[in-house]
Amino acid sequence: MNSSDHVTRPDLQTVRLALMLAGRAPSVHNTQPWRWVFDGTRLQLRSDTDRLLSSADPLGRQLVISCGAVLDHARLAFLSMGWFAEVTRFPDPNLPEHLATLEFWPWPGALNTTAARVRAIHQRHTDRLPMQAPDGWLDALSAVRELARPHHVAIDEIPDSSRHRLAAATEHATALRRYDMRYQTELHWWTGHSDVQEGIPVAALVSDAEAARVDIGRAFPSAPYSARRADLVDQARLVALSTLGESPSQWLHTGEALSEVLLECTARGLSTCALTHITELPTSRSVVAELVPHPDIPQVLIRIGTAPEDNTPTPPHRRPLDDVLDIRPAPPPRRA
């Protein structure tokens, strides 16, 4: 090893710590559809298509968005450990599952702007209960718009006056899915179990009585009866994350922007819930498309609000790092 090796790559322990933190990223149904490959110098992010939701997400759009979220979480985690990760997206056109390669540079001073979002990684979780209107909303909205801009992802607030249209589209999507056996089998496979390392456990779901007070949300298997936040009917604000096109690269960027938005909101003490039940089906997606500036294509909605401090939902577990990380030594340099 020569001395320059020390300054151009984090050691394995740092990589493991950063990726464990990154693993807290949100993913559709908590599928965690990613793999990491570390060759001692560079880190690859690959999608794990065995975890594709073939009914809800046949094209893998949400799978790639989820991978974008873990990519952004990883970038922040490495920064907090003194490493700037330079990201090359889709480096091999013949290998679409190879989503990104990360190369590292020492970066001692980056924490000022990102420290709050790094801390938020531990605190963030999806909140499916009704929320109060978000405190400090206009400041938060302008901050998240700035964070999404480098990814060319637009953030549009859905005005309250249009909310009933999304509620109607939610009802329509739920009705279409009620007797869709492939969709229901997949949903029940991934949700509603206890003490699991993947999927959405029953502790993170809501009861029918609670769901009835949230007009825009996915219909999940219901949790046992409880009436948390009993005095609240959902007053969360809704934002749509949209792109100008529909390519895997734009999906990956959407996930990166989603991660930034969720973490920034968490850092500001706000609660969040990503929503895609409404962008999975063409009919309900077209309703959202009518509410954002043309020609933006809506990818994900987020409910953002303030939660009373009690009864925050239990965040789901994650897979062990060794299930998602391969260590493959780089081939030795050729002799001259």
Ligand X SMILES: Cc1cc2nc3c(=O)[nH]c(=O)nc-3n(C[C@H](O)[C@H](O)[C@H](O)COP(=O)(O)O)c2cc1C
Cα separation, 298 vs 156, whole angstroms: 9
Residue 220 tokens read as 């999940």
If one asks whether residue 28 binds ligand X (CB under 6 A), the answer comes out as yes
Rule CB under 6 A: choose which of 118, 265, 273, 324 binds ligand X: 273
68 is a contact residue toward ligand X (CB under 6 A)? no
- Residue choice 236, 275, 304, 307 for contact with ligand X (CB under 6 A): 275
List beta partners, residue 34. 47
Residue 298 contacts ligand X per CB under 6 A: no
Residues numbered 127-146 forming contacts with ligand X, rule: CB under 6 A? 128
Name, in order, each residue with C-beta under 8 angstroms of 258's C-beta and a sequence gap of 6 or more: 26, 65, 68, 69, 241, 274, 300, 302
Strand order in the sheet with 325-327: 83-89, 98-106, 43-47, 34-38, 325-327
> What is the smallest separation between the CB atom of 294 and ligand X, expressed in angstroms?
23
Q: Does 166 bind ligand X (CB under 6 A)?
A: no
Residue 80 sits in the site that holds ligand X (CB under 6 A): no
Confirm or reject binding of residue 73 to ligand X (CB under 6 A): no
Instruction: Determine which residue in the list 206, 274, 292, 325 makes contact with ligand X, applying CB under 6 A.
Output: 274
* Distance from C-alpha of 148 to C-alpha of 261, rounded to nearest angstrom: 7
Draw the binding track, 300-329, toward ligand X (x: CB under 6 A; -: no contact).
x--------------xx-------------
Residue whose CB is nearest to ligand X in the complex, by number: 26
Amino acid identity of 84? Answer: F
Alpha-carbon Rg for the chain, nearest whole angstrom, is: 20
> Per CB under 6 A, does 101 bind ligand X?
no
Distance CA(269)–CA(119), nearest Å, equals 12
Residues that bind ligand X (CB under 6 A): 26-30, 62, 65-66, 69, 125-126, 128, 200, 204, 217-218, 273-277, 300, 315-316
